[in-house]
């Protein structure tokens, strides 16, 4: 029987789970999933994340505002996040970062609130969950200029080159690997995973998004982490239990509030 898996990045607050959320979450915990980090993105989803982490003892929260949701963010909102992030059930600040795939909010606004939330993580001594899409240089430049190497964190859904991965690895960051690693056209990500030591990799689904093969096109959930673990095991030439156990140890080490 396989070990239970640590799900390091999920969005069970999403409306895609409205019809069966409790049944699904409970079933996952009873079968294959040991811990879940539910990750905030908007103010509304962060509020729902707090509800989930207060309801289930095995769900912890990451509180923060995704770059595409920061257009109307205020200092009052940041204070509200801070007041809730002091909870023992808040494991990280996130997901925060930059996303240039979309044209709004403007880049300067995204950068402002990215930096502000990095500062919040420093204040609270919490790890960060970084979202970066089509913004490789600016994300890395900000993290260097803001001395994010003094923080702990994970680059969620890593999608850049080996060269940039080396920069984050040297800063002590972890790498979230999800369903994309199972896709036939994920050559670049496979090269990154081949380069990275196993002790800096976390398993994540980003559910309900990015389902792995053979479930592309369906709603994703944490039960699909096994397909990601199997893909990693093949690349790393180890057994699946090794992948599950090492990535779980990595997650507990990074998210140190979780027992």
Residue 48's domain is classified under what CATH number?
Answer: 3.20.20.140
Range of the domain at 244: 5-254
Position 195 in a domain? yes
Distance in angstroms (rounded) separating the CA atoms of residues 203 and 222: 10
Q: Is the pTM of this model over 0.85?
A: yes
Number of domains into which the chain is organized? 1
Distance in angstroms (rounded) separating the CA atoms of residues 86 and 177: 27
Structure tokens at 255: 């998210």
Position 178 in a domain? yes
Position 77 in a domain? yes
- Stated as kind and residue range, the H or E segment containing 68 is none
Distance in angstroms (rounded) separating the CA atoms of residues 4 and 1: 9
Distance in angstroms (rounded) separating the CA atoms of residues 57 and 60: 8
CA distances from 250 to 82, 158, 242 (A): 25, 16, 12
CA distances from 128 to 3, 39, 93, 180, 184 (A): 27, 11, 5, 22, 30
Quickly list H helices, the chain: 21-31, 43-55, 75-85, 107-124, 136-145, 162-170, 187-195, 225-236, 240-254
CA 35, 216, 104, 203 torsion-angle sign: positive
Q: At what angle do helices 136-145 and 107-124 cross, to 10 degrees?
A: 40
Position 55 in a domain? yes
Position 214 in a domain? yes
Position 259 in a domain? no
Q: Which residues pair with 7 in a beta bridge?
A: 36
Q: Which of 2, 4, 47, 28 is nearest to 207 (CA)?
A: 28
Q: Is residue 4 left, alpha or beta, with left meaning phi > 0 and alpha meaning psi from -120 to 50?
A: beta
CA 93, 152, 238, 241 torsion-angle sign: negative
Each residue's pLDDT expressed in tens, for the chain with a length of 259 residues: 678 999 999 999 999 999 999 999 999 999 999 999 999 999 999 999 999 999 999 999 999 999 999 999 999 999 999 999 999 999 999 999 999 998 899 999 999 999 999 999 999 999 999 999 999 999 999 999 999 999 999 999 999 999 999 999 999 999 999 999 999 999 999 999 999 999 999 999 999 999 999 999 999 999 999 999 999 999 999 999 999 999 999 999 999 999 8
């Amino acid at each position: 029987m396989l070990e239970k898996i640590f799900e390091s990045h999920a969005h069970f607050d999403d409306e895609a789970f409205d019809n069966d959320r409790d049944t699904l979450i409970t079933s996952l915990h009873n079968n294959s999933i040991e811990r879940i980090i539910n990750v905030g993105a908007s103010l509304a989803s962060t509020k729902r994340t707090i509800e989930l982490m207060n309801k289930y003892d095995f769900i912890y929260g990451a509180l923060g505002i995704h770059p595409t949701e920061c257009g109307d963010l205020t200092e009052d909102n940041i204070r509200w996040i801070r007041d809730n992030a002091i909870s023992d059930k808040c494991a990280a600040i996130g997901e925060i970062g930059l996303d240039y795939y979309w044209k709004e909010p403007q880049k300067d606004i995204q950068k402002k609130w990215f930096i502000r939330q990095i500062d919040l993580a420093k204040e609270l001594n919490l790890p960060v969950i970084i979202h970066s899409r089509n913004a490789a240089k600016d994300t890395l430049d900000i993290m260097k200029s803001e001395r994010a190497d003094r923080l702990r964190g994970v680059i969620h859904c890593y999608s850049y080159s080996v060269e940039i991965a080396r920069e984050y690895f040297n800063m002590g960051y972890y790498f979230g690997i999800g369903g994309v690693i199972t896709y036939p056209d994920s050559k670049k990500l496979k090269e990154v995973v081949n380069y990275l030591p196993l002790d800096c990799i976390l398993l994540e689904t980003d559910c309900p998004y990015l389902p792995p093969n053979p479930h592309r096109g369906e709603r994703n959930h944490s039960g699909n982490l096994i397909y990601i673990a199997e893909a990693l095991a093949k690349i790393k030439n180890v057994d699946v239990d090794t992948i599950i156990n090492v990535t779980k140890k990595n997650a507990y080490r990074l998210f140190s509030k979780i027992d």
